[in-house]
Structure 1
Amino acid sequence: MDIQKMLNEYFDWLKTETTTHQINEYYEITTPFLNHQNDNIQIYVKSNPDGTIELTDDGFTVNTLKAAGLNFTKNRKAHLDRILTKFGFSLKNSEIIGITEQKKFPEKKHMMLQAILAIDDMHNLAKGKVTSFFFDDLVEFFDEQDIYYAEDIQFVGKSGFTWTYDFLFQRTKKKPERLCRAINSPSKAAIEKVLFSWVDTNPVRRDDSKLIVIVNDTDKFSKNALTAFGNYNTDVILWSERNSQKSIDLLSA
């Protein structure tokens, strides 16, 4: 597997599929990444008088979730705030906003895309049958099983971009370092995002480092969507099979 070739192809695709359009003082950046409605994610950028750069989604992400029926209860608002804090953004009148220096714009834009995708994933919580947050369920499960972990770990990939992983299971005498991503909604965009981050992160970690993906299969979906992980030396754990001995062995020290 030619990792560098794959990264170059990814960056070429990202550059080719990204377009810009000026709207008054803002530049509208249309990315190839899709939200849960299969709309391209857009970011709006402008230069401030002090030389800093402001990024915003113009309120589209949160307002789309509200239109889909998501009620931002106290717990859901706390979940939203946690995502914003993780990626370094704030919320003002439903707008996701970030300020950065011009030289740090590429990294800030990259982090904003991750934030938007993570917040957009909350659309599943609009369904009445969802009673708790997948992330919180995972933490509770780890604690019950005495599985030791660290949360919200960031790594700089070979490209220089920073990627956030939900959990890290540390290396032991018996187990390698294991990075973990939780996928609440196994959409094509969510799976591609995880794979892109792993392809970029893997070359700068230990040779025996592994990726574990935990998928919420509470709702039915095509298991064929997960076959791509097999091509990238990735272990997949379905939430419904979390208590199996195989799953426990993958996660434990």
Structure 2
Amino acid sequence: MIDEIQSLMEQYLQWLKDKTALKQIDKDWVQVTTPHLDRHNDCLQFYIRKEANGFLLSDDGYIIHDLISSGCSLDSEKRKALLKMTLAGFGVQLDGETLILKASAENFALKKHNFLQAMLAVNDLFYLASPYVANLFYEDVVQWLDHSDIRYTPNIKFTGKSGFDHMFDFVIPKSRKQPERILQTLGNPKKNAIEATVFKWTDSRENRAANSELFVLLNNGETEVAASAIDALKNYDIEPILWTERSQIVERLVA
């Protein structure tokens, strides 16, 4: 059994070697194309430069630029901390928007492995880990409310006619111009999240003022929101607001 597994391991290492391609792109840098795939199913590439005391590995800014161009901003302190923590786990540093790692001839194999793992981890972190996406979106909403001078009370619990308690993210009290406004964030606006929002609103709205309004902020910066999800909310007198169109409701929330 051990011999069989050892043979398979050797086959894997040979496959990894065969599928890794090197290309000299200038006098200093060598491009390494690996068989590891990113979230676009493209082979991961990184770059190596010889230095006086070893080697410098760099992704040339690919991972961070890809996240930003896909609408995943890394500006908030929480996201920066999450990124830094993830990279630190692999010993990788951030130079501007470029991932870098220094290696010696003796530890090159391990460092190269760690560098690839860091690239994959950051690539996946903000797109595949839905709890992180939801929490980060909530933080974005808080910053937007504060920046827009919209007063609010966070994390309000309403009791529904069923007797169940329901948590809503924000409540803006009524004013002379506007009724009570309730805000719910959906960082991952999938079918189950839409259904849960509809249920807790229909269950609790009878215990609110008759003209209370529910706005649902939908995160469309990192995934497309289905038209059926928007229609479902509208059918229950819930106002869906795409995150990219949030400026349209500022006046109604500030008043």
Q: TM-score, normalised by structure 1?
A: 0.49
Q: TM-score, normalised by structure 2?
A: 0.49
Max radius of gyration: which structure? 2
